[in-house]
Each structure stands twice: as structure tokens, then as C-alpha cells.
A and B are shown apart, each in its own frame.
Chain A
Amino acid sequence: EPEVTQTPSHQVTQMGQEVILRCVPISNHLYFYWYRQILGQKVEFLVSFYNNEISEKSEIFDDQFSVERPDGSNFTLKIRSTKLEDSAMYFCATARDRGGEKLFFGSGTQLSVL
């Protein structure tokens, strides 16, 4: 089965630093998402992205967050100035169709902000 690839698997950073989390979507997928999961809590929607623009974003996705597809293949999530509370597992997910029933998730990037 095709896979969504995320790098790095773990990222440790100091508070206030910028981080970029990377995702390689499945090749024919057009809809991209970022979710996060704080340890022991539920999976939370951050943002959806289609046709090089944000389709929807949550309250969590404030000005410190941004997404882009810089080279038409990678899909990145940037956190400009990390806070302690940004520590979480970040999942990239992709779908082939609009409203696609099946989201394919990557294995996640564990972000630890110290």
C-alpha cells in the first residue's frame, strides 16, 4: 500500500526556535492535512490544504503556524516560534479525492519543545 512519509520522526528543539516538519504525500493525492496529538489527548485537526491554499484551519493554527508545498512534492508545516505547549505528535494525512473517505496518515513527527 502507498505510504505518506514524514520526516523527521523525532524533533527536539528549544522554546522560541523555528521548526519545519516535512511530509511526502502519496503521489496522486491532492488534499493534505496536518493533525496533532498531545500525549494522552485526542487527535486534533490543524489545517487542510488544497490547490496550494489553505481550505480550512482550526483555532490552534494561529499566526505561528504556516503550511506550504515548496516544490510540488513535499508538504511542510512550519512553527515559527515554538512554545512548550507545541510538544506533540504531528501527523500529516493525505487524500486522493475531495471529501475522501480514507485519510492516509504518516507515522508522525514527535516534536519535543524544551
Chain B
Amino acid sequence: RKEVEQDPGPFNVPEGATVAFNCTYSNSASQSFFWYRQDCRKEPKLLMSVYSSGNEDGRFTAQLNRASQYISLLIRDSKLSDSATYLCVPKLNDYKLSFGAGTTVTVRA
């Protein structure tokens, strides 16, 4: 089983729509979780951390379900600038982040 599995998409949504997607992870010992964003052929950038109680950052909401070993990301009121690949990232230990292959979101005008 892969360390991290994500629906590759693409999710094609109109501006203003809500889009949500999940990620599953295999290692139950993962300590913490993050969503990174990667634009085409650019470096990954931290979007947000994912806390056990769930958390919001503006239009972005992240949830963690440790029992089922998945995390989710929801984007409300999508903007054209949200078009990117979203990488699910469990932290396995202090020295290693393991990146998922990513979910591609395309927001159209």
C-alpha cells in the first residue's frame, strides 16, 4: 500500500464553486499533516497544517480523521488562482515529510 494516496483529479470547477477532496495515508504513526500547493513545475508551498479538531484558513478547510486515516481539504468560493495541484503531506518523523502525488484542481471562469 502506498504511503499516501490521492485522487489525481483533475477537478474542473467554475469560479465560486466548492470543491473537496481526500487523501488517505497508510502509516498510523504519522505525527502531523499538511496540505501543500504546487503550481506547474514550481516548488511546493505550504498551504496549511491539519489539526485533529479540523481547521479553517480563509476559504480553505482541512479535516483529519485518524480512525480512518484520511485527511480532506475543502475550498469554498473557488478563485481562478486556486488552480494548482494540492499535495497531501503526512509527517512521518522529524526528518521526513512524505508527499502524495497530488490532486489537480482547475478553476474555470
Contact = CB atoms under 8 A, between A and B. Distances in A.
A66 interface: no
Interface stretch (B11-19, B74-82, B86-94): B86-94
A48 B95 contact: yes
Interface stretch (B42-50, B54-62, B64-72): B42-50
Contacts of A28: none
A55 B95 contact: yes
B96 interface: yes
Interface residues of B, number: 23
A19 to B, nearest CB: 19
A20 interface: no
Contacts of A25: none
A99 interface: yes
A2 B49 CA distance: 20
Tell which of A50, A55, A91, A105 has the most Cβ of chain B within 10 Å. A105
A48 B96 contact: yes
A107 B102 contact: no
Contacts of B91: 99, 101
B84 interface: no
Contacts of A56: 93, 95-96
A50 B93 CA distance: 14
Interface of A: 31, 35, 41-45, 48, 50, 55-56, 89, 91, 98-99, 101-103, 105-108
Interface of B: 31-32, 34, 38, 41-46, 49, 87, 91, 93-102
